[in-house]
């Protein structure tokens, strides 16, 4: 077998394909062209981060991949099959934890594990405890949601999203509302969990350094209408330190491209 054939054999298969997706919303101020002919592919186990200014269609594309929105044209395929509705193979983690306040931590995870009808109650409890341990909250299984800090709530939400073992994890600015120290702790958690239980991840963020820290690739979105303006591989080994010079260098490259584009559009960039 040649070196080329060996390299191709080791390339993970394509998990998600976005084909020429466009989306326009009708508003009282007229139509808003949210996405324009977006195409991309994401491989198994890859983390792709999408960055760009507000209104560039990142969350709209994430919702289409989740099956929460329908494109006007084009299609999204997961394992070669068209996505037309939400599915247990794709779980979404939002900016707000969206936990059920009337259930304790364990109850929230047990509710999510109802998506796995092949598991009995004892098996679901074991799975729930495993994922709580994975996010460092094994001792808080019976805590009430109001007793948790913001970072702990997001850890529970992450465990709840991963417990049903989805093939794809869709993350829409999940750490935006947290303080800097808590965010950096969660960056470490995400990378550690990705090493232990790899997932295909699509991660939406406004924070360019966050994208460079977590992503295997960073996609730069441009608004009006939303489209992919650039693609930036991040070939750094893991785990990555959010404050490292290497992460800063890759983030600077993306930020420079973002500022250049926005200046040409007469807009301002925000970190």
Contacts of 119 (CB under 8 A, 6+ apart): 113, 127
Residue the block writes with tokens 């929105």: 69
Q: CB-based burial of residue 120 (10 Å sphere; 0-12 exposed, 13-18 middle, 19+ buried)?
A: exposed
**Domains assigned to the chain:** 15-89+170-271 (3.40.50.300), 99-165 (no CATH)
The model carries a pTM of 0.88
Name which of 209, 217, 184, 264 is nearest 43 in CA terms: 217
Alpha-carbon distance values, 257 to 15, 65, 211 (Å): 28, 26, 14
Interatomic CA distance for residues 24 and 110, integer angstroms: 38
Report residue 269 as tokens.
């960039």
Of 50, 16, 43, 38, nearest to 218 by C-alpha is 50
Q: Coil, strand or helix: which one is 252? A: helix
In tens digits, the chain (271 residues) has pLDDT values of: 554 444 445 678 999 999 999 999 988 888 888 999 999 999 999 999 999 888 889 999 999 999 999 999 999 999 999 998 998 889 999 887 789 999 999 999 999 888 777 888 899 999 999 999 988 899 999 999 999 998 899 999 999 998 888 889 999 998 888 888 888 888 988 898 888 888 999 999 989 999 999 999 999 998 878 899 999 999 999 999 999 999 999 999 999 888 877 666 665 555 5
Residue 232 to residues 211, 215, 216, 228, 255, Cα–Cα distance (Å)? 10, 10, 9, 11, 11
Q: At what angle do helices 180-196 and 150-162 cross, to 10 degrees?
A: 20
């Amino acid at each position: 077998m040649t070196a080329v054939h060996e390299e191709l054999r080791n390339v993970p298969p394509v998990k998600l394909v976005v084909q020429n997706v466009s989306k326009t919303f009708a508003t009282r101020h007229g139509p808003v062209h949210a996405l324009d002919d977006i195409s991309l592919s994401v491989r198994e186990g890859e983390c792709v981060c999408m960055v760009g200014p507000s209104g560039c269609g990142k969350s709209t594309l994430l919702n289409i991949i989740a099956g929460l929105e329908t494109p006007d044209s084009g299609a999204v395929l997961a394992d070669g099959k068209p996505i037309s509705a939400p599915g247990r193979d794709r779980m979404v983690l939002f900016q707000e934890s969206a936990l059920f306040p009337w259930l304790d931590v364990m109850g929230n995870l047990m509710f999510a594990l109802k998506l796995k009808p092949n598991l009995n109650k004892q098996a679901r409890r074991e799975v729930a405890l495993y994922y709580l341990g994975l996010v460092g909250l094994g001792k808080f299984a019976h805590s009430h949601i109001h007793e948790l800090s913001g970072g702990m709530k997001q850890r529970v939400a992450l465990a709840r999203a991963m417990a049903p073992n989805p093939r794809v994890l869709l993350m829409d600015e999940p750490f935006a509302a947290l303080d800097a120290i808590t965010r950096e702790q969660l960056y470490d958690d995400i990378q550690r969990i990705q090493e232990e239980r790899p997932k295909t991840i699509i991660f939406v963020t406004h924070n360019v350094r966050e994208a460079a820290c977590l992503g295997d690739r960073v996609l730069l979105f441009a608004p009006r209408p939303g489209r992919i303006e650039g693609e930036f591989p991040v070939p750094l080994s893991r785990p990555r330190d959010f404050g490292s010079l290497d992460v800063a260098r890759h983030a600077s490259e993306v930020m420079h491209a973002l500022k250049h584009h926005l200046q040409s559009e007469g807009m301002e960039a925000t970190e």
